[in-house]
Structure 1
Amino acid sequence: MPTTNAENNGPWDAKLQQFHGGQDWAYLDNFVEDFSVTTNAFGMPESGKLASIESVQHSHHYPPADQEPAKTSLARFLWPAEFEVERDRLILGNGASELIDLVIRMAPAGTWKPGPFHTQYKEYERSARNNNFKLLPAESTDKATVACLVNPCNPTGDYLDLPVLKQWIEDNVLPGGYALVDESMQPWHSPEFRDHSLISQRDYVEKLFREKGISVFVMHSWTKLWCCTGLRLGSVICPTAEHMRAIKKLQVPWSVNTVALAFLNAVVSDDAYLHKTWQMIPVWRRQTIDRLSELFPEWKFHGRSFLSWIWVDTGSEDAAQKAIDLARAAGVPVRSGRPGYSLPTFIRLAVREPEKVDALIGALKAMC
C-alpha cells in the first residue's frame, strides 16, 4: 500500500493543485476514524444513502439538465416560505469548488482579497491566482474588485454576525465588484440558522447591487453537513436571476450527477438528522475540548461552540507534528496546519462521538 505523511502532499501535485486534507485514511491499514475532515459526526444520512443507491439504476440516463427536483427541494430547505421566489437565484454545482471557480472567472478583473481572519479555505485564493487577480493581504485597507470571506471560517473558527458581516462587505468591495461569502458551515448554527445567514437578506443584497453595483454570492458546500464529500455537491445563491444564468452559461452540462441529485433531494427533508446534529455536536465538541485540556493545558482551542471541528494551537511545531504522527499511527488522522495553511503549530480535528474520541485521546496520551 502507498505511504504518505504530514510533511508531503500525499496524492496532491504540489506544483499544480491546492493542498486539501481528507486523503490519509486511504493509506492506513488500521483506519478507525477520520478526524482530519469537518464532516458530520453522524455520517451520511440513511435517507440520502438509500436514495443514492436507488438512483444508480437510472445512471444509464443523463441527469436532468435543470437539476430538478433537487434544486427546488434545496430552495425549499433554504427558504421554506419564499422558495418559489428565491429559486431562480440558486444553482447547484459539482462541489462548491466548481462554483467558486465559475464565479471568480466571470468576475470583473482587478484585485482580490480574503476575509479578515488569520487564514481561510484556500480554493478562493487558488482560483483568484489562476485567473490573474492581484492578491491583496487580509490586513489591507484597500477595497478589492473581488473579496471572499468564509463565515464561519474554516479552519480558524472565526465568525462574523450579520451586522458585522454586512459592514465588512461594504468596507472591502469596490463598486461594481463581487463579494463571495462562503456559508458552508452556517447551517450548523442552530435550527434558526437562516435568521443568522445572508440567505435571509434578499432586500440588502438587492439594494447593494442596485445602489453600488456590488454582487453578493452566497456559497455552500453541502458535503460537510450531510457527510457526502465523495459525491461533490455545492450551490451558490446569486444576487439576481441574471447572475445565475451567467453562471449556467459557463457551467458544463450535467455538472451534478444523478446520484448526488438524488441524495440532495432526500436529505433536505431529513429533519431528524439535522435536529440530532444541532443537539449533539456542541456537546461532543465541549467534551473533547475538556478532555484535551486536561492532558494539554497549554493548548489553545478556537471556534464557536456549534462548529463541527476544533482549531487547536499547540504552541509548538514539535508538539503539533508529534500529535499528527501519533494520531495517524493510531488510525485517527488529524489535519496539520502546515500544508495549505503554513501554520505548523496548529492542528484541526473534527468533532466525533465519544467512543471515537477515546481512540484519539489514547494515541495522544503518549505525548504526556
Structure 2
Amino acid sequence: MLGEQTTANNVWDSKTQTFHGGQEHRFINNFVEDFSVTTNYLGTPPQALAAAKQAMGEIHHYPAANQEPAKTHLAEFLWGKDYAEQHGRLLMGNGASELIDLVVRKALLAAAERGQTQPTWKGSPWNVQYREYQRSAETNGFKILEPSNPERADMVCIVNPCNPTGDYFSVEPLKEWIKNNVKSGGSVIVDESMQPWHSAEFRKDSLISEHAYARDMWTEEQVSVHVMHSWTKIWSCTGLRIGSVICPTTAHCEALRKIQVPWSVNGPALAFVEAVVNEKDYLNETWENTTRLRAHLIDQLSSLEQSKEWVYHGKKFLSWVWLDMKSEAMAERAIDLARAAGVPVRSGKPGYKCNSFIRVAVRKEAEVAVLIQAWKSL
C-alpha cells in the first residue's frame, strides 16, 4: 500500500505473486545467515563475482543480444567437447522464471493450434513443488490437475530434485514418468536446477545428456521436452537472475527467442556466467562437503530435546532439509526464534500449505550452531 512501510510480512503481493524465501534478511538488524534459501553454502564464487563487478563498468553499453560468449561457455560446461552439436538448443534468460513463462505460453499456443480451448496441466507426483510452474499455468489459462490424477496432461512440469520435498527421480524412472503422464503432442518442463548437486557425475543421471531421448520424444510423439535450470542456486547469485532452458530442437529454441524480450540477460550476468563455469575448485568443494554438512545439520537438529517426533526429508546430496516438526504451533515458534536470532528459515505454510514443515538450508557449522542455540528454547 502507498506510504506503508515495507516489512518482511508485506514484501509479496499475495494477489499477484507467489511467496518465496530470501527476503527477510533485509529486515533483520542482527542478520547472521539466510537458512531460508537453497543457495550454495560457499557463497558466490569469487572470480565470477569479480567479473560481474568489472562488467558494471560497461553498463553504458547494451549487453550482447545473442548472449555470447556466455552462452557458448555455458554450453561447453553442460556438454563438454560435444557442445557445438547442442548449442542451438540452449537459451538463457532472466532467471528460470522468465523461461518458465516463455515455455508455458508457447505450450498454450501449441494447444490452441490443436483446437484445445482449455488444455490441462499437471505437476510432479509429489504433494508440493516449486510453485512458479503452476502459477504460470494458472495465469495462462491451463486447467490444473492434482498430482494424484492419473489422467495424462497437455503439459507436465516436474521439479527434479523436488524443491522443497527433496524427492528425486533418477534419469530412467524420470523418463518413464514423463511417458506415462503427458499426452501425445504435449509439452514437458523438467526443472533440474538442484540436480548438479548430485555429484561430479551429475550429467550422467540428468536429461542434459539424453539427446536421443529428446529427439525421439519429439519425432515419434510430438512431445517437446524442455530442461530448465536456475543457475543462481548452485553458484549462489540469486540477485543476478541467470537461467537457461535446453529445448528439444533448435527450432523450438528459435520459437522461444521470438517471444522473448531483447537483452533479458544483463551484462554483469553474462560476464558472471562466462567466468563461473571455469571455477572448478568451487564445484569440487561443493560436492565434497555439502553431503557432510547436511548430515551435520540433521545430527545437530536431532540432538535437540524437542526433536523426537521430527522427520527429515530429502536426498543426502541436497543443499537443504525439508523438516516436518509434526506440529504447526512448534513450526511457527521455530520460525520466530530463528528470525529473532538472525538466521531466518523457510516456512512451509505460505505457498506450500505444509503447516508443520520448515525448509532449512545447508550451512557451515558455525552458522548452524546459531540456529541450534535459538531452537533450544522451543
Match of 1:350 among 354, 358, 361: 361
Match of 2:323 among 297, 312, 324: 312
| CA distance in structure 2 between the partners assigned to 1:264 and 1:241 by the alignment | 22
Residue 189 of structure 2 aligns to a residue whose secondary structure is strand
What's 2:114 paired with? none
C-alpha deviation, 1:2, in angstroms: 5.0
Which residue identity does 1:143 align to in structure 2? R
C-alpha deviation, 1:57, in angstroms: 1.1
C-alpha deviation, 1:163, in angstroms: 1.1
After the TM superposition, which residues 327-338 of structure 1 pair with which residues of structure 2 at under 5 Å, given as runs? 327-338=338-349
| CA distance in structure 2 between the partners assigned to 1:243 and 1:163 by the alignment | 24
| CA distance in structure 1 between the partners assigned to 2:310 and 2:48 by the alignment | 38
Residue 190 of structure 2 aligns to a residue whose secondary structure is strand
What's 1:302 paired with? 313
After the TM superposition, which residues 178-197 of structure 1 pair with which residues of structure 2 at under 5 Å, given as runs? 178-197=187-206
C-alpha deviation, 1:316, in angstroms: 0.4
C-alpha deviation, 1:150, in angstroms: 0.2
What's 1:58 paired with? 58
Establish whether residue 231 from structure 1 lines up as the match of residue 240 from structure 2.
yes
After superposition, give the CA deviation of every residue in 1:312-345 in whole Å (9 maximum; x if it has no partner).
0000001100110000000000000000001110
What root-mean-square deviation, in Å, do the aligned CA atoms of Structure 1 and Structure 2 show? 1.0
| CA distance in structure 2 between the partners assigned to 1:47 and 1:277 by the alignment | 16
Establish whether residue 100 from structure 1 lines up as the match of residue 119 from structure 2.
no
Residue 165 of structure 2 aligns to a residue whose secondary structure is coil
Residue 290 of structure 2 aligns to a residue whose secondary structure is helix
| CA distance in structure 2 between the partners assigned to 1:234 and 1:3 by the alignment | 28
| CA distance in structure 2 between the partners assigned to 1:297 and 1:245 by the alignment | 54
After the TM superposition, which residues 140-155 of structure 1 pair with which residues of structure 2 at under 5 Å, given as runs? 140-155=149-164
What's 1:74 paired with? 74
What's 1:325 paired with? 336
| CA distance in structure 2 between the partners assigned to 1:3 and 1:208 by the alignment | 48
| CA distance in structure 2 between the partners assigned to 1:176 and 1:116 by the alignment | 21
Return structure 1 stretches of 4+ with deviation > 4 angstroms: 1-5
Identity, % of aligned positions: 56
What's 2:182 paired with? 173
C-alpha deviation, 1:21, in angstroms: 1.2
| CA distance in structure 2 between the partners assigned to 1:359 and 1:336 by the alignment | 18
After superposition, give the CA deviation of every residue in 1:1-24 in whole Å (9 maximum; x if it has no partner).
95746xx4x301001111111111
| CA distance in structure 1 between the partners assigned to 2:6 and 2:55 by the alignment | 35
Residue 80 of structure 1 aligns to a residue whose secondary structure is helix
Establish whether residue 280 from structure 1 lines up as the match of residue 293 from structure 2.
no
Residue 18 of structure 1 aligns to a residue whose secondary structure is coil
Which residue identity does 1:182 align to in structure 2? D
| CA distance in structure 1 between the partners assigned to 2:47 and 2:341 by the alignment | 31
| CA distance in structure 1 between the partners assigned to 2:258 and 2:65 by the alignment | 12
Residue 81 of structure 1 aligns to a residue whose secondary structure is helix
After superposition, give the CA deviation of every residue in 1:102-134 in whole Å (9 maximum; x if it has no partner).
000010331000010110000000000000000
After superposition, give the CA deviation of every residue in 1:182-214 in whole Å (9 maximum; x if it has no partner).
000010100000000001100011111111001
Contact preservation (8 Å) 1:2, 1:27: no
Contact preservation (8 Å) 1:285, 1:310: yes
Match of 1:359 among 370, 374, 377: 370
Which residue identity does 2:298 align to in structure 1? I
Which residue identity does 2:155 align to in structure 1? V
Contact preservation (8 Å) 1:120, 1:154: yes
Q: TM-score, length-normalised on structure 2?
A: 0.95
What's 2:116 paired with? none
C-alpha deviation, 1:142, in angstroms: 0.3
What's 1:38 paired with? 38
Residue 366 of structure 1 aligns to a residue whose secondary structure is coil
Contact preservation (8 Å) 1:51, 1:262: yes
| CA distance in structure 2 between the partners assigned to 1:309 and 1:87 by the alignment | 32
| CA distance in structure 1 between the partners assigned to 2:21 and 2:11 by the alignment | 10
Residue 174 of structure 1 aligns to a residue whose secondary structure is strand
Paired residues, number? 364
Task: Structure 2: state its 5+ residue gaps.
Answer: 112-118
Establish whether residue 115 from structure 1 lines up as the match of residue 124 from structure 2.
yes
Q: TM-score, length-normalised on structure 1?
A: 0.98
Residue 79 of structure 1 aligns to a residue whose secondary structure is helix
C-alpha deviation, 1:360, in angstroms: 0.5
C-alpha deviation, 1:297, in angstroms: 2.2
C-alpha deviation, 1:43, in angstroms: 0.2
What's 2:221 paired with? 212
| CA distance in structure 1 between the partners assigned to 2:196 and 2:282 by the alignment | 13
